[in-house]
């Protein structure tokens, strides 16, 4: 395909929408759905549409290194927005080795031009780990090592997002003994802000949320200590797990296919890493298929977003839940029991008071008697 | 020798006071219905933290001690051979018999599976000789019978004098047999309280890890025994004074007064034992802590010490008001000591507290009222009370 | 006709008092042989490791199921929960949390299966007895419901059914009715509570301590407390056992004071019989002869 064909993606939003047979109203709907799906405010939809209507849509350059392309594949399966709407209407995906039509020197040229035209403004998405051993020789693209390519492109980027566990912390290529020295994008690009979206694959809506926010508002979402967006990674699976009630009630599956397993009981005893894994898989299902995530199909979570867990801790080994503390209602060793009835206290007081009063009266009465004078009997 | 004889008081039973007691007893009976119908939880303030409440601590532990007048007087008259106290024996036995009978009744009310109680004296192979409570149970069961037998001469006397022909025949045949056996029955009536009153102290030695050091002591049995003795004498003074005054009779305060020094010395002995043992165990500093335990401790001891010293003085020998006031204070102090040992000093851990429920109080009050009613009935009909000078009929 | 003077009476009382006070320690040695059961090889128990417990309460749930105990109903925001906060008549084991600022630790409470149990010593007619495996068994056909066992237990374990018209005492009996053994250890997902022979549990506790130096308190709770128990506890190095609510107890058995007095005073009923003879003699002497009529009660 020639270069002009590529430029179709640079048509104005309205034109592109007409070109793809979608009216303005439907286009707004797409933007609303996209905004809602990634947690952006309602007002974002309008802004998104307006931005997309501008002659220039935000540019995204997507680099792929030591990866399986799973993150791209999962991105293709979104529907709010769908990959089509995303690529054609909302962003300008200027370089993506899997999705672009170009190949070879043409692809290289697209990359160089995109960088030149959007210097300092494009969003760089990194998929896959970057090997550093042997000078990064284990991954070469277009006769450049992944290491060099990343450093070069990143130096021109406006925002950098590492998608998937591989780019976020090393992923499966970095599993022991890590012969290639697979590293995360953040390790390579020290000193730069690299938003990480771990997961294997990452949930595509987490990426979309970050990209669309940046594209529309020019800002990045709030990040945690591992540069993960808090809107998706602040809670552990355990906190939102649909099987949590079973955990709380002590109902555990002991092995695949047993009674507990069939009843959908908690998989903690089988080594579910949910209690330590930060992700939102239970809330945003993959591919919009309800229950299409590990615990949903009855397999224990293996902690794919967490460097300390995935590909490190054995599948069936239980982990200690990461918890802020037991809930306030949890029985304490110093639990309070029971109350004293005020009525009872009153009655007791009256009774004792009456007895003491009677005693005093008696004593006084006796005191008023003259002492006995006649002789009694004694020894 | 003694010229005084016991005579029935006579007179109308249903005085306003008696009727008031009847009302209280009736209310207590209704409360009992709740207890047996709905269980102990609904009827009492006892909880998992405080599994024993006033039905044990007051009705049994205090009730039997106040009923130790019979024991204390038996010691004085039949062992120490002080015949002059003889007039005090019958009323003391009656109070004791009532106290113990209602204590036994309170146990039936308090235990959860009362229908099995008959097994205690009969299933000998089940007996656990480690348990102080077994000793208390067997002894009290026996003593209730013994003390009524000890009291029975009063009944037989009446039946012989003015009973129905059947009663007269029975009294005339049973009387001599009873007389022969009486020394051994009286001796039993002295042995048994010695055993179980001290065991009531031993009972609270088992949970020693939960007991406050100001009440827990390795000599608890001895302390409880001495305590029941002076409480017995105090109860005799109290009840003799009230009933003779209540019936318009005159009593010789010098008779009661001569008991005073006995009580005084017993109290001093008790306090010496208590404080001495506390000091020996190094627990005396707890008495000076700024908390409720120290406060109750001193209240108990002062309610004993002050009247105890007064009783050693001259006034107590001659003045009825001093005797009564002292006896009243001693009863309060001695009762408090027992109650506190069972309830206040027992600490099941944080978060627990106990106060009797309304129903619990009503049952206890009802039992006390019933005892008063029966006492009044018996002394009016049977020769129990004596008087130094004959009283105008009232 | 000898009479006993007041002086003699008081002297006698003093002597009796001293005798009673000294009888206890003197007979303590005598009864020591009879009381010390010590650890037996077949003793069964539990080992609870507070550092592994996550407070999931699977053990509490399973225990209720295995023992057919009803729920402790608690309604929170309109939703029903089974939420016992302590051992009670419907709860034979419970998990509680101890908090020290941000630091929290869990503790499991159940019958400690003492070597020399206070409840066994307390019960008048042996409704509680130490049975096979050293497990303390309950016989409700003997129980009177007087709750002395509840008063006596240093751990406040036996619980009375306050709400029943026909009540019994309730406590863990190590699931002796279950062929699989204790339900709590079976269901625990973290091996925080395990069951078995006490000798094996003790070895496992030592092994865990040795494998993680500095993680645990050096002491194993229950090794000597109250004379030794069959349920043992491990705690984190910065969480003392008292913080977990486990009472501070020395190595003396709970019943030893009370038992030594009972055995000392009533040993073979020698003292009571002798006393009775003495009193009987005195009373008989004082009541015979002409003073009979006046002295009679």
Burial A219-228 (b: 16+ CB within 10 A, else e): ebbebeebbb
In a domain, B360, yes or no: no
- Does the CB of B242 have a partner CB in chain A at under 8 Å? yes
- Percent above pLDDT 90 for chain B: 75
> Which pLDDT score is estimated for C13?
47
pLDDT band at A213; cut points 50, 70, 90: confident
pLDDT at residue B371 is higher than 60: yes
- B307 contact residues in A (CB cutoff 8 A): none
Mean local confidence (pLDDT), C91-107: 92
Report domain extents, chain C: 6-35+258-287, 44-252
How far is the alpha carbon of B134 from chain A, nearest alpha carbon, in Å? 31
- A350 contact residues in B (CB cutoff 8 A): none
* Rounded Cα–Cα distance for residues A18 and B141 (Å): 104
Please tell me which residue, B201 or A286, carries the higher pLDDT value: B201
In chain B, how many domains are there?
1
> Which pLDDT score is estimated for A370?
60
Average pLDDT, chain A: 84
- Does the CB of B389 have a partner CB in chain A at under 8 Å? yes
pLDDT at residue C173 is higher than 90: yes
C-alpha torsion A25→A29→A34→A39, nearest 10 = 120
How far is the alpha carbon of C68 from chain B, nearest alpha carbon, in Å? 21
Put simply, the answer to whether B254 touches A372 (Cβ < 8 Å) is yes
Mean local confidence (pLDDT), C54-69: 92
- Percent above pLDDT 90 for chain C: 64
Of A248, A318, A335, nearest to C189 by CB-CB distance is A318
- C295 contact residues in B (CB cutoff 8 A): 77-78, 83, 86
Please return the burial class of A4, using the count of CB atoms within 10 Å of its CB with bins 0-12, 13-18 and 19+: exposed
* Rounded Cα–Cα distance for residues B268 and C16 (Å): 17
- Among A224, A196, A199, residue whose Cα is nearest residue A210: A196
How far is the alpha carbon of C77 from chain B, nearest alpha carbon, in Å? 25
- C83 contact residues in A (CB cutoff 8 A): 329, 331
> Which pLDDT score is estimated for B2?
38
Residues of A with CB under 8 A from a CB of C: 247-252, 268-269, 318, 320-321, 325-326, 329-335, 337
Helices (H) and strands (E) in chain C, counts: 9, 11
* Rounded Cα–Cα distance for residues C210 and C21 (Å): 47
- β-bridge partners, C91: C88
> Considering only B131-145, C90-104, C133-147, C230-244, which range has the smallest mean pLDDT?
C90-104
> Which pLDDT score is estimated for A1?
34
* Rounded Cα–Cα distance for residues A295 and A298 (Å): 5
pLDDT at residue A99 is higher than 70: yes
In a domain, B337, yes or no: yes
Question: Can you name the CATH fold of C44-252?
Answer: Alpha-Beta Plaits (3.30.70)
In a domain, B9, yes or no: no
> Which pLDDT score is estimated for A20?
56
Please tell me which residue, B338 or C80, carries the higher pLDDT value: B338
| Per-residue DSSP letter, B195 | H
Sequential DSSP letters for B93-122: HHHHHHHHHHHHHHHHHHSTTGGGTTHHHH
- A268 contact residues in C (CB cutoff 8 A): 56, 189
- B1 contact residues in A (CB cutoff 8 A): 377
In a domain, B200, yes or no: no
Please tell me which residue, C82 or B307, carries the higher pLDDT value: B307
Radius of gyration of chain A (CA): 34
- Does the CB of B3 have a partner CB in chain A at under 8 Å? yes
pLDDT at residue A6 is higher than 50: no
In a domain, B214, yes or no: yes
Please return the burial class of A374, using the count of CB atoms within 10 Å of its CB with bins 0-12, 13-18 and 19+: exposed
Q: Is the distance from CB of B39 to CB of C163 less than 8 angstroms?
A: yes
Q: Which chains touch C (3 or more CB pairs under 8 A)?
A: A, B
- Other C-beta atoms lying within 10 Å of the C-beta of residue C211: 9
Put simply, the answer to whether A366 touches B47 (Cβ < 8 Å) is no
Residue of B nearest to C141 (CA): B116
Mean local confidence (pLDDT), C193-222: 96
Q: Which of A366, A368, A373 to mutate to test the interface with B (most CBs of B within 10 A)?
A: A366
Put simply, the answer to whether C145 touches B113 (Cβ < 8 Å) is yes
pLDDT at residue B366 is higher than 80: yes
- β-bridge partners, C129: C137
pLDDT at residue B213 is higher than 80: yes
pLDDT band at C69; cut points 50, 70, 90: very high
Tokens 């109080």 belong to B361
> Which pLDDT score is estimated for B125?
94
- A377 contact residues in B (CB cutoff 8 A): 1-4, 84
Of A268, A318, A330, nearest to C55 by CB-CB distance is A330
> Which pLDDT score is estimated for C296?
62
- Percent above pLDDT 70 for chain B: 97
Q: Which chains touch A (3 or more CB pairs under 8 A)?
A: B, C
> Considering only B158-162, C61-65, C75-79, C258-262, which range has the smallest mean pLDDT?
C75-79
- Interval C20-33: pLDDT, tens: 444 444 444 444 43
pLDDT band at B387; cut points 50, 70, 90: low
| Per-residue DSSP letter, C107 | E
pTM score, whole prediction: 0.79
pLDDT band at C96; cut points 50, 70, 90: very high
In a domain, B8, yes or no: no
Can you give the residue range of the structural domain that contains B328? 209-352
- Other C-beta atoms lying within 10 Å of the C-beta of residue B87: 26
Residues 312-351 of A with CB under 8 A from B: 334-338, 340-341, 343-345, 347-348, 351
In a domain, B235, yes or no: yes
- Other C-beta atoms lying within 10 Å of the C-beta of residue B148: 17
Put simply, the answer to whether B255 touches A365 (Cβ < 8 Å) is no
| Per-residue DSSP letter, A284 | S
Put simply, the answer to whether A344 touches B45 (Cβ < 8 Å) is yes
Average pLDDT, chain C: 86
Mean local confidence (pLDDT), B272-277: 96
pLDDT at residue C267 is higher than 70: yes
Put simply, the answer to whether C283 touches B346 (Cβ < 8 Å) is no
Residues 113-142 of C with CB under 8 A from B: 118, 120-126, 141-142
How far is the alpha carbon of C222 from chain A, nearest alpha carbon, in Å? 18
- Other C-beta atoms lying within 10 Å of the C-beta of residue A179: 12
> Which pLDDT score is estimated for A8?
44
Residue of A nearest to C242 (CA): A333
Of A247, A329, A332, nearest to C56 by CB-CB distance is A247
pLDDT at residue C176 is higher than 50: yes
Q: Are strands C136-138 and C159-160 parallel, antiparallel or unpaired?
A: unpaired
- Interval A218-235: pLDDT, tens: 899 999 999 999 999 999
> Which pLDDT score is estimated for C134?
95
Residues 234-263 of C with CB under 8 A from B: 245, 247, 249, 254-255, 257-259, 261-263
Q: Which chains touch B (3 or more CB pairs under 8 A)?
A: A, C
- Interval A79-90: pLDDT, tens: 877 888 888 888
pLDDT band at B393; cut points 50, 70, 90: very low
Residue B47 zone, left/alpha/beta (φ > 0; ψ -120 to 50; rest): beta
Mean local confidence (pLDDT), A53-69: 87
Q: Which of B24, B41, B55, B252 to mutate to test the interface with A (most CBs of A within 10 A)?
A: B252
- Does the CB of B386 have a partner CB in chain A at under 8 Å? no
> Which pLDDT score is estimated for A216?
82
What end-to-end distance do the CA atoms of chain B give, in Å? 28
Put simply, the answer to whether A337 touches C86 (Cβ < 8 Å) is yes
Please tell me which residue, B97 or C269, carries the higher pLDDT value: B97
pLDDT at residue B151 is higher than 80: yes
- Percent above pLDDT 70 for chain C: 84
Please tell me which residue, A56 or B65, carries the higher pLDDT value: B65
Mean local confidence (pLDDT), B13-34: 94
pLDDT at residue A375 is higher than 50: no
pLDDT band at A330; cut points 50, 70, 90: confident
Tokens of B52: 């024993």
């Amino acid at each position: 395909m020639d270069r002009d064909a590529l430029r179709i993606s640079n048509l104005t939003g309205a034109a592109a929408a007409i070109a793809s047979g979608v009216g303005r109203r439907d286009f707004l709907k797409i933007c609303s759905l996209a905004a809602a799906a990634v947690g952006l405010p309602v007002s974002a939809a309008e802004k998104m549409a307006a931005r997309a209507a501008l002659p220039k849509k935000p540019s995204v350059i997507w680099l792929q290194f030591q990866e399986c392309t799973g993150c791209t594949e999962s991105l293709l399966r979104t529907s709010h927005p769908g990959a089509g709407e995303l690529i054609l209407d909302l962003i300008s995906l200027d370089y993506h080795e899997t999705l672009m039509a170009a190949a070879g020197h043409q692809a290289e040229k697209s990359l160089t031009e995109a960088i030149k035209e959007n210097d300092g403004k494009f969003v760089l998405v990194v998929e896959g780990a970057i090997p550093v051993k042997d000078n990064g020789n284990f991954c070469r693209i277009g006769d450049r090592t992944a290491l060099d390519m990343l450093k070069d492109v990143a130096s021109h980027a406006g925002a950098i997002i590492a998608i998937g566990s591989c780019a976020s912390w090393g992923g499966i290529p970095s599993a022991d003994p890590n012969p290639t020295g697979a590293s995360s994008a953040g390790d390579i690009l020290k000193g730069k802000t690299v938003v990480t979206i771990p997961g294997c694959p990452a949930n595509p809506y987490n990426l979309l949320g970050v990209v669309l926010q940046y594209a529309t508002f020019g800002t990045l979402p709030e990040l945690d200590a591992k540069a993960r967006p808090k809107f998706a990674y602040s809670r552990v699976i355990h906190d939102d797990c649909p099987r949590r009630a079973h955990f709380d009630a002590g109902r555990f599956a002991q092995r695949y296919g047993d009674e507990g397993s069939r009843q959908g009981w908690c998989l903690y005893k089988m080594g579910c890493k949910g209690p330590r894994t930060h992700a939102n898989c239970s809330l945003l299902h993959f591919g919009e298929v309800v229950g299409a995530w590990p615990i949903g199909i009855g397999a224990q979570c293996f902690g794919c977003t967490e460097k300390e867990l995935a590909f490190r801790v054995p599948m069936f080994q239980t982990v200690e839940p990461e918890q802020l503390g037991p809930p306030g209602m949890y029985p304490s060793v110093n639990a309070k029991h029971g109350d004293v009835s005020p009525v009872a206290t009153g009655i007791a007081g009256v009774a004792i008071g009456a007895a003491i009063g009677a005693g005093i009266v008696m004593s006084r009465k006796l005191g008023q008697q003259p002492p006995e004078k006649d002789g009694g009997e004694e020894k | 020798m003694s010229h005084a004889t016991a005579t029935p008081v006579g007179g109308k039973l249903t005085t306003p006071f008696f009727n008031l007691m009847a009302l209280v007893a009736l209310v207590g009976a209704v409360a009992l219905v709740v207890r047996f119908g709905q269980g102990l939880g609904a009827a009492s303030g006892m909880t998992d933290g405080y599994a024993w409440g006033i039905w044990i601590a007051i009705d049994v532990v205090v009730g039997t001690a106040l009923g130790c007048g019979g024991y204390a007087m038996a010691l004085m008259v039949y062992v120490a051979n002080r015949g002059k106290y003889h007039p005090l024996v019958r009323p003391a036995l009656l109070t004791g018999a009532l106290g113990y009978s209602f204590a036994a009744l309170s146990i039936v009310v308090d235990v959860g599976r009362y229908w099995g109680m008959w097994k205690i004296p009969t299933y000998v192979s089940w007996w656990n000789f480690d348990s102080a409570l077994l000793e208390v149970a067997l002894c009290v069961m026996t003593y209730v019978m013994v003390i009524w037998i000890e009291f029975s001469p009063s009944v037989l006397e009446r039946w012989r004098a003015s009973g129905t022909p059947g009663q007269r025949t029975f009294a005339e045949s049973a009387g001599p047999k009873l007389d022969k056996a009486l020394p051994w029955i009286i001796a039993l009536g002295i042995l048994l309280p010695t055993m179980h009153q001290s065991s009531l102290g031993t009972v609270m030695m088992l949970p020693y890890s939960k007991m406050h050091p100001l009440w827990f002591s390795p000599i608890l049995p001895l302390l409880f025994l001495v305590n029941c003795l002076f409480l017995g004498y105090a109860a005799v003074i109290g009840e003799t004074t009230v009933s003779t005054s209540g019936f318009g009779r005159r009593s010789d305060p010098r008779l009661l007064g001569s008991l005073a020094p006995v009580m005084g010395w017993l109290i001093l002995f008790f306090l010496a034992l208590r404080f001495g043992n506390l000091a020996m165990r190094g627990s005396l500093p707890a008495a000076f802590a700024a908390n409720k335990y120290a406060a109750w401790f001193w209240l108990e001891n002062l309610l004993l010490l002050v009247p105890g010293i007064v009783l050693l003085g001259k006034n107590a020998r001659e003045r009825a008001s001093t005797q009564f006031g002292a006896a009243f204070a001693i009863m309060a102090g001695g009762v408090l000591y027992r109650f506190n040992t069972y309830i206040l000093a027992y600490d099941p851990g944080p978060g627990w507290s106990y106060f009797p429920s309304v129903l619990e109080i009503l049952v206890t009050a009802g039992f006390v009222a019933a005892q008063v009613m029966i006492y009044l009935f018996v002394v009016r009909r049977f020769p129990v009370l004596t008087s130094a000078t004959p009283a105008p009929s009232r | 006709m000898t009479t006993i003077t007041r002086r003699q009476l008081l002297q006698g009382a003093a002597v009796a008092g001293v005798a009673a006070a000294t009888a206890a320690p003197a007979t303590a040695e005598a009864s020591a042989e009879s009381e010390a059961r010590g650890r037996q090889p077949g003793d069964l128990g539990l080992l609870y490791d507070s550092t592994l417990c996550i407070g999931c309460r699977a053990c509490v749930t399973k225990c209720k199921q295995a023992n057919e105990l009803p729920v402790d109903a608690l309604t929170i925001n309109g939703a029903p929960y089974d939420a016992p906060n302590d051992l009670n008549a419907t709860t034979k084991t419970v998990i509680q949390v101890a908090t020290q600022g941000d630091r929290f630790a869990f503790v499991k409470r159940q019958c400690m299966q003492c070597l020399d149990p206070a409840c066994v010593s307390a019960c008048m007619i042996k409704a509680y007895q130490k049975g096979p495996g050293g497990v303390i068994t309950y016989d409700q056909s003997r129980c009177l419901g007087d709750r002395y066992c509840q008063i006596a237990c240093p751990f406040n374990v036996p619980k009375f059914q306050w709400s029943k018209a026909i009540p019994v005492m309730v406590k863990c009996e190590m699931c002796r009715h279950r062929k699989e053994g204790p339900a709590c250890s079976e269901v625990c997902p973290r091996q925080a509570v395990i069951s078995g022979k006490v000798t094996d549990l003790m070895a496992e506790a030592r092994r865990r301590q040795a494998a993680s130096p500095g993680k645990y308190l050096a002491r194993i709770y229950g090794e000597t407390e109250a004379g030794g128990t069959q349920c043992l506890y491990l705690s984190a190095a910065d969480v003392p056992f008292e913080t977990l609510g486990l009472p501070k107890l020395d190595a003396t058995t709970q019943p030893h004071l009370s038992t030594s007095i009972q055995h000392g005073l009533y040993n073979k009923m020698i003292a009571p019989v002798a006393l009775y003879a003495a009193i009987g003699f005195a009373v008989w002497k004082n009541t015979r002869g002409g003073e009979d009529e006046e002295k009679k009660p």
